[in-house]
Structure 1
């Protein structure tokens, strides 16, 4: 039987996942910033952020990169953080207030419909591990491009290929097998949807962006042991729970045990070092 992908249902599920996972994603914030710190700095560099810049952050989540961008643009700049989940944006807003960053604004918005953002109003746009999950990536990219002024820059962090991201690809592979799920077809959203050579570049160019660059950033995730990585993924990665939603409680528990056992291959003298490689994909609106 062929299952037809339903983008509306996918978005509804995604929003529910992040509404539920928001507290955990916030709680794991220090680990996430350590893990994605280098890729985030590369993204902000490639987006050409400077004092006074107006920045759109798409799929901002709990806002770690939002705050980093706000610090770069300073009090004369502005960062508009958007996300499909209002619950997770509340954490971003609270963290900005706690850090004394008055130049951050949050708006609930679907990245494929940024009608609340005026044409050409942004100097730069960023998205950290968000673009990969949009059902219509072309629509999201063209919407982001529309909001940029001529010469404005978009820079996004995405995963590369599964073989370079064992910490995530191993659990995904086990869950797909346990749940009887096929691999996602090309063009459908998923963690590795923009990772294959040339895919992200073609997507950017199709949306009208030029001077497209891709920078590889090794981003290993470091934790005390595999059990902690499993805890992090169980608590924070809503997509994995959605993939397991059709199995029994016993099958679900068995899957997580198998995942933990499989992830021990990445334990060593320095604890757990999960293989991860990010791509920073950047382009300019002509």
Structure 2
């Protein structure tokens, strides 16, 4: 598994570096959309003004940068496998004048911190993509202090997330993309109810709690939604890249047609649902 995991991570570095520009381009929209999920992760983490916080798989900076504003006497370490994504986060931290933030390019399964360093560990929409989920969680537990809270968000089931399942389902109908095994990184890999609770308990965490948070991805038009998804969703762009021009045109046409059912008051509103899970380091 180690060799396979290394290959997955190598590919992830390349892909996320390539998509960093798209996440920078759509930063305002991503902040609005993902805001309720990041807020929930932070709320359940119960930050103190002097908390030392670790944000694993921070990507372009959230929820770590929001946490930094809440811990003026503490500090926040943002980590990600992609140097390109973290560069976007660094630019945002500088623009917000956040002096208590640091950045480390690293793998979630090999965090470069001493045992018991952090009061809080955050991970929003990272677990689904870790090649070795349990190894990553072990590292989060290892670097957390006794009594520290670990708070995470993962996407819920596909049916509760038409923002992604609509376009991914259409891709599957028009291409011959193989169905990935359950243990391979992907958007809905951690979506089964209770899965994250079991993982947290198996890692020795106490008082594990799981809840659901939902919001809508809002766009003004099918064209805006399509551009957004092809700029920020790695799975969508990868699938489209494997189709010829005629098939891509068919996929786009079908997606636009189905988006009609999500139009409300002149805007498209696509449901987005995540599971928030928290636990306490023994």
TM-score with structure 1 length normalisation? Answer: 0.93
Quote the Cα distance in structure 1 between the aligned partners of 2:280 and 2:239: 36
Q: Structure 1: any 5+ residue segments left out of the alignment? A: none
Aligned with 2:190: secondary structure? coil
Quote the Cα distance in structure 2 between the aligned partners of 1:13 and 1:239: 13
1:279 maps to which residue?
Answer: 275
Deviates more, 1:204-213 or 1:93-102: 204-213
Cα distance, 1:270 vs structure 2: 4.3
Does the CA-based 8 Å contact 1:226-1:267 persist in structure 2?
Answer: no
Cα distance, 1:86 vs structure 2: 0.4
Aligned with 1:117: secondary structure? coil
Say whether 1:206 aligns with 2:199.
no
Quote the Cα distance in structure 1 between the aligned partners of 2:220 and 2:202: 42
2:229 maps to which residue?
Answer: 233
Does the CA-based 8 Å contact 1:212-1:282 persist in structure 2?
Answer: yes
Does the CA-based 8 Å contact 1:138-1:206 persist in structure 2?
Answer: no
Cα distance, 1:12 vs structure 2: 2.0
Match runs of 1:56-95 below 5 Å: 56-74=54-72, 76-95=73-92
Aligned with 2:103: secondary structure? strand
Deviations 1:174-227 (A, max 9, x none): 222323224332232211111111111111112222211112111211111222
Match runs of 1:67-216 below 5 Å: 67-74=65-72, 76-114=73-111, 116-216=112-212
Quote the Cα distance in structure 2 between the aligned partners of 1:61 and 1:241: 18
Quote the Cα distance in structure 1 between the aligned partners of 2:262 and 2:255: 12
Does the CA-based 8 Å contact 1:167-1:263 persist in structure 2?
Answer: no
Deviations 1:142-175 (A, max 9, x none): 1111110011111111111111101101111122
Cα distance, 1:84 vs structure 2: 0.7
Quote the Cα distance in structure 2 between the aligned partners of 1:34 and 1:175: 26
Aligned with 2:63: secondary structure? helix
Quote the Cα distance in structure 1 between the aligned partners of 2:245 and 2:114: 47
Q: Structure 2: any 5+ residue segments left out of the alignment? A: none
TM-score with structure 2 length normalisation? Answer: 0.94
Cα distance, 1:99 vs structure 2: 0.8
Equivalent residues, number: 280
Deviates more, 1:172-181 or 1:95-104: 172-181
Deviates more, 1:104-113 or 1:11-20: 11-20
